[in-house]
């Protein structure tokens, strides 16, 4: 559960200098082709702060060539600046959590981007990178980044409504929510490395309004609660900051992948929030089935993948075996997904298959064909 909450709350944290969060200013993550669309509908375009990102697959090329950096800055910054208020250039997305081959090129690429900005006398655009929380061993106590209790995080504590505070006994700092705890763990880690004054911005945060059955707390009620309390905290003036940095301004981006804003209706026009029905862990068996609307061609490829992983995953689908009939890609994929998930879940396998699969509590077994299950 602790790992899930960490992913939900702070999947990406930026080590950057921050700017004030004001009601008439919005910070956006947007690629070049999205700038015009994102800004054209706003009543006052000049007040929108924008962050743009160098894709991970461009980092090595830019690190090795100032000309490549200059070309990227020209296409992604100068073509829009200063009409568009670009304030951050982020070199890569969670690079240190992914391909190690890119790691040595990260800082050189950042320097080359900064050199290009300086050459054009652009001084107010900060260059940084995004870091996922898995760069730390753990987040409590923040001062030592070690915890024997990380699995005992409550949903209320994560949703800013904790009734029991947590104390870092190394510093005597008191924590009322998980987000502050995670932010301060990064602050203390940087302090130990000799960088005590670098500002922070939250690059991605939010709460999913739905999830798999083994994902505790993923529902609309909790998503609304988290986002409302997050905005309340971050928009408070004077700024609240964190226990380790009281009064600090922390620019915050709410993840568009978790929160979809479709209109600007007044809150009073919405129906009451549905009750939170997934706050208690599900205990029982689960199967992995084909999701409604799955394309047959894509299913065929996914079926081939699942059956190619060995461990007798699809032995029951061989001609003459108990699950061979009916001979249908949908039926075979249904069995293969469940079998694959049950055999490889401990190695990190999921019931997803690029959106072709979903979890179910209903046993899809038929006759002599028994579908393998996962027990949680």
Active centre residues (catalytic) = 204
> Which residue in the block uniquely carries the two structure tokens 């505790």?
216
- Report the alpha-carbon distance of residue 39 to residue 33 in Å, rounded: 11
Closest CA to 336 of 287, 266, 286: 287
- Report the alpha-carbon distance of residue 112 to residue 45 in Å, rounded: 29
Let me know if 230 is exposed, middle or buried by CB neighbors in 10 A (0-12, 13-18, 19+): buried
> Which residue in the block uniquely carries the two structure tokens 């993948």?
305
Q: What is the maximum span of the chain, computed from C-alpha positions, in angstroms?
A: 74
> Which residue in the block uniquely carries the two structure tokens 């209320």?
156
């Amino acid at each position: 559960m602790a790992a899930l909450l960490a992913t939900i709350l702070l999947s990406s944290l930026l080590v950057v200098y921050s700017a004030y969060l004001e009601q008439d200013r919005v910070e956006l993550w947007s690629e070049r082709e999205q700038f015009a669309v994102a800004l054209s509908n706003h009543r006052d375009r000049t007040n929108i702060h924008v962050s743009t990102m160098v894709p991970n697959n461009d980092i090595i090329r830019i690190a090795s060539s100032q000309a490549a950096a200059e070309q990227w800055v020209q296409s992604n910054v100068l073509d829009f600046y200063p009409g568009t208020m670009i304030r951050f250039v982020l070199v890569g997305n969670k690079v240190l959590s992914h391909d190690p081959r890119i790691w040595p090129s990260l800082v050189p690429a950042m320097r080359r981007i900064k050199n290009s900005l300086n050459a054009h006398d652009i001084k107010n655009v900060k260059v940084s990178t995004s870091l996922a929380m898995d760069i730390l061993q753990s987040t409590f106590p923040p001062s030592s980044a070690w915890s024997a209790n990380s699995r005992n995080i409550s949903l209320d504590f994560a949703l800013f409504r904790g009734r029991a505070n947590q104390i870092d006994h190394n510093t005597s700092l008191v924590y009322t929510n998980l987000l502050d705890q995670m932010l301060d763990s990064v602050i203390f880690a940087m302090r130990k490395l000799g960088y005590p004054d670098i500002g922070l911005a939250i690059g991605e945060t939010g709460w999913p309004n739905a999830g798999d059955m083994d994902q505790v707390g993923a529902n609309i009620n909790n998503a609304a609660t988290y986002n409302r309390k997050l905005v309340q905290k971050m928009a408070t003036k004077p700024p609240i900051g964190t226990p380790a940095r009281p009064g600090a301004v922390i620019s915050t981006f709410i993840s568009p992948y978790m929160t979809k804003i479709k209109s600007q209706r007044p809150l009073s026009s919405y129906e009451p929030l549905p009750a939170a029905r997934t706050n208690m862990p599900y205990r029982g068996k689960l199967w992995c089935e084909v999701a409604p609307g799955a394309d047959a061609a894509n299913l065929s490829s996914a079926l081939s993948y699942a059956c190619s992983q060995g461990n007798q995953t699809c032995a029951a689908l061989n001609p003459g075996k108990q699950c061979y009939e009916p001979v249908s890609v949908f039926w075979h994929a249904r069995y293969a997904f469940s079998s694959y998930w049950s055999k490889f879940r401990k190695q990190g396998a999921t019931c997803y298959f690029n959106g072709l699969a979903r979890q179910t509590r209903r046993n899809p077994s038929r006759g002599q064909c028994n579908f393998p299950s996962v027990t949680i």
